[in-house]
Amino acid sequence: MSYEQGLERLEADLEASVAAVFRRYPPLCGFSLSRELDVEELACHPALDRRRARVIAEDIVRALSELVDEEPEAAELIRGRTFARALH
């Protein structure tokens, strides 16, 4: 597999993981990750209480950690990145 093909596969796997998180949490509008892969910011509408926001943040970290466990090179794709819900 070429480098480009590997990168495309990683991006597709990342997109699928993030899309699954957005499907599980309809109020989630977007989130930003730190370099350490922690959720730095979480945007929801309507706004959520801290407990519910923490549950979502923990699920985001869990989902992306699973991806990184399966594909360690994915970590560099998500460090410091912001993800937003795509509206169609």
Q: What is the pTM of this model?
A: 0.90
Domain containing 69: what range? Answer: 3-84
Q: How far apart are CA 33 and CA 38, in angstroms?
A: 5
Number of structural domains, the chain? 1
Q: What is the pLDDT of residue 88?
A: 67
pLDDT along the chain (88 residues), means of 10: 84 96 97 96 96 98 96 94 90
Q: How far apart are CA 75 and CA 7, in angstroms?
A: 12
Provide the CA 9 distance to its chain's centre, in angstroms. 16
